[in-house]
Chains A and B, each alone.
Chain A
Amino acid sequence: MDILTNVATGFIGLFKAGGKVFMGYMTDIIPLLISLITAINALIKFIGEDRVNNFMAKLTKYSILRYTLLPILGVFFFTNPMCYTAGRFLPEKYKPAYFDSCVSFLHPVTGIFPHANSAELFVFLGIANGFTKAGGNQTRLALLYFITGIIVIFIRGMVTERLSIFFFKRNGNTEILNQKLDVNDLKKENAEEA
């Protein structure tokens, strides 16, 4: 009987420990998350999609903006997965690179702006919780994750751009490479469709 009792205690203990962790999340993370996400959701609604779209269409000419500010705005305002739709402002040959830099920002953004990808928060929180427990400052980690993320998505955008041009050439997609670069024209066309 004693053995059975021990087994049962151990079994329940597993989930008591889980419940404790869950309660910790509920009291530490959820309240902040709810008010923060509500405020940002409201802000996005006040600013409005059209204004963001118009602004984003102007950013596509320079590669430094194309792989930094454009994905940041896309991720912040349209969140995962609608942030990729901003790719329509770009000529075909830049689209893979934009996607790559956009998707790579979806986790670095969550430390400070969890609304942008709330379903995948734990990619950050898993490590950040341990970091906090060891006595670290979580906000500082979030901020550094954000800043490093910007540098990384820029490098990634540039590398992927070169590689996609290589693959376009190899697969003989010359019409994509030679596509006119008049971004303003492109914007008008796509804006009508959208």
Chain B
Amino acid sequence: MTYHSVKIVKGNHGWGGPLIVKPDEQKKYVISVTGGGIDPVAQKIADLSGGEVVDSFNNPVLKEETFAAVVNCGGTARSGVYPKMGIPTINTVAITPAGPLAQFIKEDIFVSGVTVEEVESSKEDSTFQSTSEPTPSSNDEVKPTNDSGFLKLIDVVGKIAGEFVNTFYQAGRDTIDTVIKNILPFMAFVATLVGIINYSGIGKILAKILSPLAGNIVGLVILSLICALPFLSPILGPAGVIAAVVGTLIGQQIATGIVPMFLALPALFAIDAQAGCDFIPVGLTLGEAQPDTITSGTPAILFSRLITSPIAVLIAFAFSFLLK
């Protein structure tokens, strides 16, 4: 089997790259982590390179045997997970680095906004050297001082205080980063949505549709069952967007009194039956699970939701009387 290099450049509004990937005897798989079969981009990479393409939801392979991952992550998790594991990552959604793993999303291992147009054969060798361990940063070491007694004490106190302040400063920096990159954009989206719904009168129409579902406990159990359907849940999952939108709509109904207040708690569980169902193979890989575990574990989790989601809503319903 001969393998060829494949060059992938960023697409419209995309970021990162260009990546040049090439399979070899040990790393011969390109995985498609898109939740709906094999993505055309992954297929084309496999066709051009001579590697094999697998759908990592149905047929997980070890990360050590993977030379590239194709994801469709509009959020932040999957885009960062594979770069962190040292696997070149091709995102079909145009995103820029953000989120808790942003530090791993670099131009030499990540490219986004990719369609089949951006994948082409290449003569160059792989630009990415796997297992590129980050070189340990050599902090400028503090020279041991020979001063005794009092000066030493000042030194120690100063060091501790410095560390304390630095840790807090860094924590603040991380926080502002999260607020700007993750929280504010979502707030902008939700605020605009709520504004349009309230001002235009769409809210009243939605209330008619939603109130039979969200307005009583039977409806909420049905809602949770719909969200937990094994063929729907992986599609509804990504980044909690759908749960957030449905939640905001139900929140509006609670605010206007159409949905009783105490149903807020069971509603929280009803809209969340699908949480993480799009993320099962990735999450299990992060827990260093073997491919066989992922193959059996994925249906186990999907079917478990059908049982546990209505139970969750009912438990929340039992507790909801504490809200009254």
Please classify how large the interface on chain A is, using the bins under 10, 10 to 19, 20 to 34, 35 or more: 35 or more
Distance A21 CA – B186 CA, assembled complex (angstroms): 13
Residue interface bits A79-93, CB-to-B below 8 A is 1, else 0: 111101111101011
**Contact partner, B200, options A14, A155, A168, Cβ 8 Å:** A14
B48 adjacent to chain A (CB < 8 Å): no
Chain B binding surface SS class: helix
Residues of A within 8 A of B251 (CB): 126-131
Shortest C-beta distance, B241 to chain A (Å), equals: 8
Shortest C-beta distance, B185 to chain A (Å), equals: 9
Chain A binding surface SS class: helix
Complex contact A163–B191 (CB within 8 A): no
A183 adjacent to chain B (CB < 8 Å): no
Complex contact B312–A152 (CB within 8 A): yes
Shortest C-beta distance, B89 to chain A (Å), equals: 14
Q: Among the interface residues A34, A37, A131, A166, which one has the most CB atoms of the partner chain B within 10 A?
A: A131
A55 adjacent to chain B (CB < 8 Å): no
Residue interface bits A33-63, CB-to-B below 8 A is 1, else 0: 1100111011001100000000000000000
The contact sample of 16 A-B pairs, CB cut-off 8 A, is: A15-B192, A18-B193, A25-B191, A29-B187, A30-B179, A41-B174, A82-B101, A85-B287, A87-B283, A115-B175, A119-B182, A127-B267, A128-B264, A133-B254, A134-B254, A144-B265
Q: Which 4 residue pairs are nearest across A and B when measured between Cβ atoms?
A: A87-B287, A18-B195, A130-B251, A96-B297
- Which B residues lie at the A interface, using CB under 8 A? 75-77, 80-81, 99-101, 167-168, 170-172, 174-176, 178-179, 182-184, 186-188, 190-196, 198-200, 239-240, 243-257, 261, 264-265, 267-269, 271-272, 275-276, 279-280, 282-284, 286-290, 292-293, 295-301, 303-305, 307-308, 311-312, 315-316, 319-320, 322-323
